[in-house]
């Protein structure tokens, strides 16, 4: 068994605890939390698993890492504290752990990662002998291995488009939804996530990685952005009221350009309520979320994936698939040599030993 720590029990961390508990080769040895109210609670309770796991949450990082875990699922946020996330991850790497995380946007594509981040992490790997695999929470597979897999079904490709269509009304991360993305703020408010250059910083690595896999070279990366106001005020269960006239929907594209044309595109269509921007792409049944890959070419291929978890919550379903991709890579990474890995390195494999189990 591979002793594994889950660091964080938010939207991704809850799913990660469940995924570790279900994996036949992993053993959950510690759960790290930052909220004092969660300390001492059983991991099964915090993750919504419906049963106790016999592992209680702690905020003592040193104690958790002193157990010499072979793997750490780092699910703490890196959105508003990137330096803190790098420091935490480096600490786990120096302890000799394989670390999987969605929290470092700059490391989606190891080949073109910023030197100031890459060098720090490589030093930590060299010191401790660990490994690092970063895959996005949006989820990463929808913007790398999945579209590449689908592309292999065609004979000619004009363009690859990856869409995330998402309703934030059930999301439980108010700071990110309101302040980073701008939902509920006036349209003249500049949210960090929508600032010029930030979408490229987040998703540009995935575009370059797909281009690399397809044997193509991008001329550059461009961005497009549209924002729509709410026509009427809406009230969410998790974040309260969002007022009429404030930002209610965002549509952005990060475009990999070739010869002046967008050839590889990552598109995000996000709303705080389904009634906002109804003319923009929606899930097939009008639900809360979906991930879609469109291969323009011959033949034209369109595949939509919808996932639900924690009841019928599609926000949680996307997080669960992101966590699953990371957790299910651990046993492969443990057998590999220490180093930095991206989605083109780490295979997407069947869930061996989990059919019929919870």
Distance separating alpha carbons of residues 130 and 108, to the nearest angstrom: 18
- Token pair 């702690």: residue: 58
pLDDT tier at 314 (50, 70, 90 boundaries)?
A: low
Distance separating alpha carbons of residues 24 and 2, to the nearest angstrom: 9
Sign of the dihedral through C-alpha 151, 153, 158, 160 = negative
pLDDT tier at 354 (50, 70, 90 boundaries)?
A: confident
pLDDT tier at 71 (50, 70, 90 boundaries)?
A: very high
pLDDT tier at 358 (50, 70, 90 boundaries)?
A: low
Summarize the confidence of residues 146-168 as an average pLDDT. 95
pLDDT at res. 174: 87
Q: At what angle do helices 115-128 and 82-94 cross, to 10 degrees?
A: 20
pLDDT tier at 315 (50, 70, 90 boundaries)?
A: low
Least confident of 65-74, 106-115, 242-251: 106-115
pLDDT at res. 352: 87
pLDDT at res. 326: 97
pLDDT tier at 317 (50, 70, 90 boundaries)?
A: confident
Least confident of 131-140, 269-278, 282-291, 323-332: 282-291
pLDDT tier at 328 (50, 70, 90 boundaries)?
A: very high
Summarize the confidence of residues 280-295 as an average pLDDT. 86
Distance separating alpha carbons of residues 277 and 229, to the nearest angstrom: 8
Instruction: Write the DSSP symbol of residue 106.
Output: G
Confidence check: pLDDT of 203 > 80: yes
For 264, phi and psi rounded to 5 degrees?
-130, 120
Global pTM value: 0.92
Summarize the confidence of residues 39-46 as an average pLDDT. 96
Distance separating alpha carbons of residues 225 and 223, to the nearest angstrom: 7
The helix or strand, by DSSP H or E, that contains position 251, with its residue range, turns out to be strand 247-258
For 2, phi and psi rounded to 5 degrees?
-100, 110
Summarize the confidence of residues 246-261 as an average pLDDT. 97
Considering only residues 222 and 354, tell me which one the structure prediction assigns the higher pLDDT: 222
Tokens standing for 271?
């709303």
pLDDT at res. 66: 94
pLDDT at res. 173: 79
Tokens standing for 274?
């389904």
Cβ atoms of residues 6 and 100 within 8 Å? no
The 3-state DSSP class for residue 168 equals helix
Considering only residues 285 and 78, tell me which one the structure prediction assigns the higher pLDDT: 78
User: How many C-beta atoms surround the C-beta of residue 141 within 10 A?
Assistant: 22
Task: Round to the nearest angstrom and report the end-to-end CA distance of the chain.
Answer: 18
How much of the chain, in percent, has pLDDT values that exceed 70? Answer: 97
pLDDT at res. 172: 74
Helix, strand, coil abundance in the chain, percent, nearest 5: 35, 30, 40
Tens digits of per-residue pLDDT, 108-132? 998 888 999 999 999 999 999 999 9
pLDDT tier at 159 (50, 70, 90 boundaries)?
A: very high
Confidence check: pLDDT of 319 > 90: no
């Amino acid at each position: 068994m591979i002793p594994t720590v889950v660091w964080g029990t938010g939207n991704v961390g809850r799913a990660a605890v469940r995924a570790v508990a279900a994996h036949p080769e992993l053993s959950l040895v510690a759960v790290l939390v930052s909220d004092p109210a969660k300390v001492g609670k059983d991991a099964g309770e915090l993750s919504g698993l419906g049963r106790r796991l016999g592992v209680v949450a702690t905020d003592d990082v040193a104690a958790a890492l002193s157990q010499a875990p072979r793997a750490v699922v780092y699910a703490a946020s890196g959105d508003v504290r990137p330096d803190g996330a790098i420091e935490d991850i480096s600490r786990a790497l120096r302890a000799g752990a394989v670390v999987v995380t969605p929290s470092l946007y700059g490391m989606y594509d190891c080949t073109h990662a910023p030197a100031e981040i890459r060098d720090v992490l490589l030093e930590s790997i060299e010191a401790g002998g660990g490994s690092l695999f970063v895959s996005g929470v949006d989820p990463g597979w929808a913007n790398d291995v999945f579209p590449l897999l689908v592309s292999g079904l065609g004979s000619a490709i004009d363009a690859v488009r990856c869409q995330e269509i998402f309703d934030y009304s059930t999301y439980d991360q108010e700071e990110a939804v309101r302040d980073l993305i701008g939902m509920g703020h006036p349209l003249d408010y500049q949210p960090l996530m929508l600032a010029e250059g930030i979408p490229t910083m987040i998703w540009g690595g995935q575009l370059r990685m797909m281009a690399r896999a397809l044997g193509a070279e991008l001329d550059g990366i461009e961005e497009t952005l549209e924002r729509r106001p709410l026509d009427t005020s809406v009230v969410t269960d998790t974040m309260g009221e969002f007022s009429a006239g404030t930002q209610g929907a965002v549509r952005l594209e990060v475009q990999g350009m070739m010869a002046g044309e967008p050839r590889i595109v990552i598109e995000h269509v996000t709303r705080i309520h389904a009634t906002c921007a109804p003319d923009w792409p929606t899930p097939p049944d009008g639900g809360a979320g979906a991930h879609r890959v469109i291969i323009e070419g011959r033949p034209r291929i369109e595949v939509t994936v919808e996932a639900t978890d924690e009841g019928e919550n599609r926000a949680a379903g996307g997080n669960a698939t992101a966590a699953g991709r990371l957790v299910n890579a651990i046993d492969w990474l443990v057998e590999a040599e220490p180093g930095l890995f991206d989605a083109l390195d780490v295979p997407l494999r069947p869930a061996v030993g989990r059919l019929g189990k919870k």
